[in-house]
Amino acid sequence: MGKVLAVQDQSCTEGIVMPTAKELVKNCTKLFTLLEVYLQVKKVINNSESTMADLSRAIGIDPGMTVAVLKLVNSAFYAMPRKVKTISRAVGFLGMQPFHDLTLAISVTTTFSGLKQHVMSMSMFWTNSFFSGLVSRGLARKCFLVDSERMFVEGLLRDIGHLILYEQLPEPSEQVLQESANTGTPVHTVEQRMLGFDYTEVGQTLVEEWQLPKNLGIAIRYQNNPSGTNDHGYEAALLNMASALTEGFQSPNELTHWQNLVAPESWKLTGLDEEGLKECVREADKQLSAC
């Protein structure tokens, strides 16, 4: 995704031994770790004996997180009927798991906020990621998924593997993007051929390294092949559709060719149709503009 800033020679990766996805993530997580406040929130929520007071103390160690949570809760993203002024009220409105997911999303974006690289504009990357999260949530709601809110964070992190690739392998990443743009071949297909793995594998590895929920990593890993997993194909299918729609969202002709990026099994797994997906795009675009 994104505009390539330089064209690399096709042969630049020939004869070079590429690191594995795991090696890339190990190198990167030495520099980028999740915020301590999120780790404390996660610990509290995972403890069935924890109280609201425990949660308030956990998030209270980082005033910046408190401000960020309340700002997002009071944004158009949640459309609260009245202003939420305290963390306890926010948890009361959202529930424990959605609150966890919200702090995770803020922690991840904060963790990578200082990342500077020239393969893609970070502003564009996070705009696309946020849009993907909104679309994923909208699709889940159309499917009447009980915990549809969790699909926001899955959509937000769907492409997180590319941040690692752009940081650790900038020149090969540029080459991949250029070849994909020139030939119309999906980025993940070019990455598999040139690197031996793709951004979904890197994304799953990062999720595992951070000890995030296993289903999140599996859905990210199989978003381009939802039938490849028996347990989380439904989530992977939703991410597959969100990915296709995000590609369409950023293209000059908007939804041009996005249908070609949706895996056939995604239609079967979700039962959604094209009009339903277009409605999600319109709603996500509206929410993005209001935030």
- How distant, in Å, are the alpha carbons of 125, 196, 245, 269 from that of 259? 22, 26, 8, 16
Count of CB atoms situated within 10 Å of the CB of 85 = 11
Q: Of the spans 37-51, 172-186, 194-208, which averages the highest pLDDT?
A: 194-208
What is the mean predicted confidence (pLDDT) over 201-229? 95
Amino acid (one-letter) located at 284 = A
95 CB-near residues (< 8 Å, 6+ apart): none
pLDDT for the residue numbered 290:
73
Q: How confident is the model at residue 56 (pLDDT cuts 50, 70, 90)?
A: confident
Which CATH superfamily does the domain covering 16-32+117-291 fall into?
Hypothetical protein af1432 (1.10.3210.10)
Name the burial class of residue 176, with classes exposed (0-12), middle (13-18) and buried (19+) by CB atoms within 10 angstroms of its CB. Answer: buried
Sequence-ordered strand ranges (E) for 79-202? none
131 CB-near residues (< 8 Å, 6+ apart): 246, 249, 284, 285, 288
pLDDT for the residue numbered 10:
41
Closest CA to 257 of 180, 196, 204: 180
Can you give the residue ranges of every domain in the chain?
16-32+117-291, 34-111
pLDDT for the residue numbered 9:
41
Q: For the segment 96-128, what is each residue's pLDDT rounded down to a tens digit?
A: 888 999 999 999 998 888 777 677 788 889 999
Closest CA to 137 of 70, 77, 94, 213: 77
- 46, two tokens: 């995972």
Residue 241 has pLDDT above 50, yes or no: yes
212 CB-near residues (< 8 Å, 6+ apart): 104
Q: How confident is the model at residue 291 (pLDDT cuts 50, 70, 90)?
A: low
